[in-house]
Structure 1
Amino acid sequence: MTVTVIQIGLDPGAIDYSSPEFAQFRGLSNDANVAGLRAAGYQVDNCLIDVGVAGADKAGEWLRAKRYDAVLIGAGIRLVPGNTLLFESIVNIAHTTQPGCRFVFNRAAQSTPGDIRRWYPEPEGAIR
């Protein structure tokens, strides 16, 4: 079975790139991230969220709607101190709605197939 991945990242429209916290993400394209993962053979859904409670709620809706092998939470959520509660909320929702999933954290601002391959070396490697 093809590995299913949900990439949860901030909607570019929700990011204040003039803020020092987000300066490192200037010009980042979630579309390019998803295209790269799909080109590598993974089945990817791209959940773009707002900050705060609204973002956690949207991520929760997506996580309750479908089964995923991997939950990739983007750097803009994880690495920005002001988003700590959002990050914790998403992890806790995923923990309860996606039993057996692997959490994937990208090493750079861009998600790469290598991030997923740490847990699923082959796109057809899903174990359910």
Structure 2
Amino acid sequence: MPNILVIGFDPHTIPGFDPAPVAAAIEQGSKAFAELGLAEDLFLIDFAELGGAAEAKLVERLQQRQYDAVVVGGGIRKPTELLEFFQTVVNLVHWHQPQAAIAFNSGPTDSADWVLKALEQKRA
């Protein structure tokens, strides 16, 4: 069973944001991983810990086990003001999980689809 790390923001920690739709989508995405026989390890970052604390926790998670693929969620990737943090996340994944495929999603509900594509590319 492939091990997949999914990195995103905890929607409950984003100021001025309604977390309910994203939390429901994350749950739906987790079900999709299970249905496909993929072991999902969900790592949600507290938005208030952006920077050093979040990065240290991510490194700790990346060092805990071997992953076949790592998904960097759209909440980290899309906002221009988070570009530096996004770059840091991608580099940390690359440095600590160099053998893992890296996948990106358009939202929590299609993460599993993108992981399958990334794993297929890795095998090719």
SS in 2 for 1:107: coil
| Offset at residue 113 of structure 1 (A) | 2.4
Long gaps (5+) in structure 2: none
SS in 1 for 2:58: helix
Q: Which residue of 2 aligns with 1:31?
A: 27
Q: Which residue of 2 aligns with 1:120?
A: 119
How many pairs does the alignment contain?
A: 117
Spell out, residue by residue over 1:32-71, the C-alpha distance to the aligned partner (whole angstroms, 9 max, x if none): 2222112211011000102311222221111111110101
The answer to whether structure 1 residue 44 and structure 2 residue 43 are counterparts is no
Q: Percent identity?
A: 26
TM-score (norm. length: structure 1): 0.78
Q: Which residue of 1 aligns with 2:68?
A: 69
TM-score (norm. length: structure 2): 0.81
**Whose relative contact order is higher, 1 or 2, with alpha carbons under 8 Å and at least 6 apart?**
1
Long gaps (5+) in structure 1: none
**Structure 1 letter corresponding to 2:89:** I
Point out 4+ residue stretches in structure 1 off by more than 4 angstroms.
none
More helix by share: 2
Cα pair 2:104 2:111 within 8 Å, conserved: no
Cα pair 1:3 1:43 within 8 Å, conserved: yes
Distance 1:108 1:47, change over 3 A: closer
